[in-house]
Chains A and B, each alone.
Chain A
């Protein structure tokens, strides 16, 4: 987030695009509700009807994958009406004439045809955004999990900059990060592009700095990103994996294909708190600790570094993950220092990365609100909103974006478009929330949201079981005629391992970010008729198959 969570309640206008905030970020949604109750206006762009679309002022119900068209058409309205912030553009940006010329292609009438959103709504939303001072944009994975995810974000960034909603309180472009420490993982340098603190991996001077600190030679250049590593596993060029705290066989796209590769790995270390699909193929399993059993920091979505504190001991011989990593490095022959606690590890991070230089465990312990980076020195208060003195990189660059349709569109064989996402009551692969009674009482099984007309055509009703198939695999789910999806679209949550939706999804990544297109792929629905033997139990459990073989009953 360029801005901060506590600013939300004082906003006058919110544009929420590709974020089912009440389900994925419930506490940020509470702030949005407080703002709304105080009179702020709320525009939500989402292909589905969600809680917020019942609550907001305008719902832009676009067709999946047409975000670039929608946002660029809004930008063109702002140009047409002369509502651009000329001062901001002149002072802080570059590339405006080129962008302006390109935007001319995005005509309102055509936008309505492509996105399905009435032109009057696009126009009204654009004008309100451009003319409200305290106006902020929020987006989540509905924007990023596309093969053109970065184009979506560039389009939004253009919208923010051309209206001068950047570098001010109560504004900005705010990505709501999905996981507790997804920001912190990248910050810390668990990315092929950067060393700790977004210092480019390809920069020889940065490499030299880390070589001196770590007292070893480091490899030059940029490594493989997650999508490339997984492709490497599939094609056999990657032979060994160390996987910590993730079930790659549930979370990565096109898992059927990936599973073949994982089976052939020469060596696989899996470090986690529960056994899962990935553990099945591991050569070594390290029992790690959960957040209640260790010290450290998480960095949240508004760049806020906050303490994680140990409350209880890990069970049995399980150990905090940081200890395991250090011992493993030493066993492998690298002289990892003997850190006495994670506070010492953080001190090393702060010494190597200027943007965290002012942060320490001691200071965090004295700051209940946490500290927002950048925080370059111990007397720096942290940064509530970014780009205060103009864009951090000097000039904000307008980047031209053009519409590219999703990679896999529905056709005769696979006539439905599948999007995937989260529900409030579960979290990711469900390893934690599916072990709790109330979350299971609210949502206990995998449902697929289907439009009423599609259900009628398929001859299925609420609660019927269907097999959902794509070109890559199939899973079972119960039909829910939710009234939330558009005709021709279906939606499934990602939390249910027995209905592992990433057997269906397509493993094309955004060319820049590597993020996979979880939001659009083509599927078909096959009704499962009782008595024909085609049930999920038969497929998943060989014992049941043999048990039922021949009698045709179950």
Chain B
């Protein structure tokens, strides 16, 4: 069991557990420390330097994401330390000199938000000359889901660390040196020609919207009507996901799927290619939209619900009367909800007195 003790952050006592980092203790206590490279699922990298804090007894500022708590430790964040605030003002300005800015001089908004923009809004930024060192993209990448916008990348390596530590396919990596560093692949091939499984975890973890979903790149967060937390309809893991709903030509549609924050749900913020990207079927043109019955001509014809229900009930009752409930079968679906499976059981047993009810659960 981890030992619990108290540290002080900005003059306030904060409960900490041995072995954890200062940033985690602060987050639990609701104390805001900016960060770009931190993701709870990944080992600390201390890469972005946004989370530097003053720690008593340390000559230099230290990254709170990679600095372990200790009993009696005294920590100051930007709230109480001028030195930390000054560091942040300069650092965010340096990042912005190498980032795409909007007409207000702020880091641009993206469909995935932009953590650098939020951080810049908390700081007194300086206007610096833009850095002319464009990062290489992968123009030949034909994968239809994941796109890389190099002018928004801050090289925090969350995406490459995720690809290594969580998905463990190592499809993307930091390539190049110095100002030529970029997020690359072996031989700068497109993702379809690498070990990438298109899980999209890189998009989910990217703090600035440098990696985004191609299909939904035009839809900014403020254009969403709502996000609806639900359970994925593919395999049996039960991942939680947020369906992003926006109006498209006046009709509400699912335009994107995002994962809940790490640590909140059974999937810990992870999704696979099917859950995150394969949602086009929801609004597909092939959907059946009308009830249909087969008429004398042997073809299916669209009819009203009343007519379809009556036709169906008569048909099933006829078989029941002629051959008995034993001659009927009710096949329910592992794709449908628990309530619907319960109701199928009730329809078979209560309405038709037949015990012949099963689902594809057997196979």
Counting CB contacts under 8 A, is B210 at the interface? no
Q: How far is the CB of A127 from chain B (nearest CB, A)?
A: 27
The residues of A that contact B198 with a CB separation of less than 8 Å are 438, 442
Contact A223-B357, Cβ < 8 Å, known A287-B290, A298-B231: yes
Q: Are A219 and B142 in contact (CB under 8 A)?
A: no
Contact A232-B239, Cβ < 8 Å, known A196-B342, A436-B280: no
Q: Are B338 and A184 in contact (CB under 8 A)?
A: yes
Q: Are A326 and B343 in contact (CB under 8 A)?
A: yes
The residues of B that contact A311 with a CB separation of less than 8 Å are 226, 228, 230, 243, 245, 254
Determine the distance from Cα of A235 to Cα of B311 in the docked complex, in whole angstroms.
26
Counting CB contacts under 8 A, is A183 at the interface? yes
Contact A226-B315, Cβ < 8 Å, known A185-B336, A313-B252: no
Counting CB contacts under 8 A, is A246 at the interface? yes
Q: Are B294 and A282 in contact (CB under 8 A)?
A: yes
Q: Are A188 and B236 in contact (CB under 8 A)?
A: no
Choose one: B199, B229, B283; the contact of A26 (CB below 8 Å). B199
Determine the distance from Cα of A437 to Cα of B144 in the docked complex, in whole angstroms.
7
Q: Is the interface of B mostly helix, strand, loop or mixed?
A: mixed
New A-B contacts (7) at CB < 8 Å, excluding given A218-B353, A328-B312: A5-B266, A27-B237, A34-B166, A244-B336, A297-B339, A329-B351, A368-B229
Listed stretches B5-13, B65-73, B99-107, B268-276; interface member: B268-276
Q: Are B278 and A439 in contact (CB under 8 A)?
A: yes
Q: Are B284 and A181 in contact (CB under 8 A)?
A: no
Kindly identify, within residues 174 to 227 of chain A, every residue whose CB is under 8 Å from any CB belonging to chain B.
176-192, 195-196, 201, 210, 214, 216-219, 221-227
- A residues with a Cβ closer than 8 A to B are 5-6, 22, 24-28, 30-31, 33-34, 37, 55, 145, 176-192, 195-196, 201, 210, 214, 216-219, 221-229, 232-233, 237-246, 248, 251-252, 266-267, 269, 272-275, 279, 282-288, 290-302, 304-313, 315-319, 321-322, 325-329, 331-334, 336, 342, 345-346, 348-349, 368-370, 424-425, 427, 431-433, 435-439, 441-442, 509, 513-516, 518
Q: Are A301 and B345 in contact (CB under 8 A)?
A: no
**Per-residue contact bits, chain B 208-241, to A (CB 8 Å; 1 contact, 0 not):** 0000000000000000001011111111111110
The residue on B at minimum CB distance from A434 is B281
Choose one: A176, A272, A290; the contact of B282 (CB below 8 Å). A290
Counting CB contacts under 8 A, is B136 at the interface? no
Contact A332-B354, Cβ < 8 Å, known A178-B235, A291-B230, A349-B338: no
Counting CB contacts under 8 A, is B4 at the interface? no
Q: Are A244 and B166 in contact (CB under 8 A)?
A: no
Q: Are A233 and B329 in contact (CB under 8 A)?
A: yes
Determine the distance from Cα of A25 to Cα of B275 in the docked complex, in whole angstroms.
11
Q: Are A185 and B341 in contact (CB under 8 A)?
A: yes
Counting CB contacts under 8 A, is B253 at the interface? yes
- B residues with a Cβ closer than 8 A to A are 142-145, 165-168, 192, 197-199, 226, 228-240, 243, 245, 252-254, 260, 264-268, 270-275, 277-284, 286-294, 300, 305, 308-313, 315-320, 322-323, 325-363
Q: Are A432 and B359 in contact (CB under 8 A)?
A: no
The residue on B at minimum CB distance from A361 is B339
Q: How far is the CB of B161 from chain A (nearest CB, A)?
A: 12
Choose one: B266, B275, B341; the contact of A6 (CB below 8 Å). B266
Q: Are A248 and B278 in contact (CB under 8 A)?
A: no
The residue on A at minimum CB distance from B226 is A311
Choose one: A238, A304, A427; the contact of B266 (CB below 8 Å). A304
Determine the distance from Cα of A345 to Cα of B326 in the docked complex, in whole angstroms.
27
The residue on B at minimum CB distance from A325 is B343
Contact A5-B293, Cβ < 8 Å, known A181-B334, A306-B231, A332-B317: no
Q: Are B294 and A283 in contact (CB under 8 A)?
A: yes
Q: Are A246 and B331 in contact (CB under 8 A)?
A: yes
The residues of B that contact A516 with a CB separation of less than 8 Å are 363
Q: Are B331 and A248 in contact (CB under 8 A)?
A: yes
Choose one: A183, A217, A317; the contact of B305 (CB below 8 Å). A317
Q: Are A438 and B288 in contact (CB under 8 A)?
A: no
The residue on B at minimum CB distance from A313 is B252
* Among A182, A274, A369, A441, residue most surrounded by chain B Cβ atoms (within 10 Å): A182
Determine the distance from Cα of A266 to Cα of B339 in the docked complex, in whole angstroms.
28
Choose one: B233, B287, B316, B352; the contact of A180 (CB below 8 Å). B233
Contact A349-B342, Cβ < 8 Å, known A219-B349, A252-B363, A438-B145: yes
Q: Are A201 and B235 in contact (CB under 8 A)?
A: no
Instruction: Show 26 residue pairs from A and B whose CB-CB distance is below 8 angstroms, ordered by the A residue.
Output: A22-B197, A31-B268, A177-B236, A189-B342, A189-B357, A192-B356, A195-B349, A229-B356, A240-B329, A244-B340, A283-B315, A285-B293, A292-B282, A306-B231, A311-B245, A312-B245, A322-B340, A329-B350, A331-B312, A334-B347, A336-B347, A368-B265, A424-B272, A433-B274, A435-B280, A437-B144
Q: Are B290 and A317 in contact (CB under 8 A)?
A: yes
Q: Are B313 and A296 in contact (CB under 8 A)?
A: no
The residue on B at minimum CB distance from A267 is B315
The residues of A that contact B305 with a CB separation of less than 8 Å are 317, 319, 327
Q: Are B233 and A290 in contact (CB under 8 A)?
A: yes
Contact A284-B331, Cβ < 8 Å, known A190-B345, A439-B278: no
The residues of B that contact A238 with a CB separation of less than 8 Å are 327-329, 356
Q: Are B294 and A300 in contact (CB under 8 A)?
A: no
Q: Are B346 and A327 in contact (CB under 8 A)?
A: no
Choose one: B192, B292, B315; the contact of A441 (CB below 8 Å). B192
The residues of B that contact A306 with a CB separation of less than 8 Å are 231, 238, 240, 266
The residues of A that contact B267 with a CB separation of less than 8 Å are 27
Q: Are B237 and A5 in contact (CB under 8 A)?
A: yes
The residues of B that contact A329 with a CB separation of less than 8 Å are 343, 346-347, 350-351
Choose one: B143, B166, B229, B292; the contact of A30 (CB below 8 Å). B166
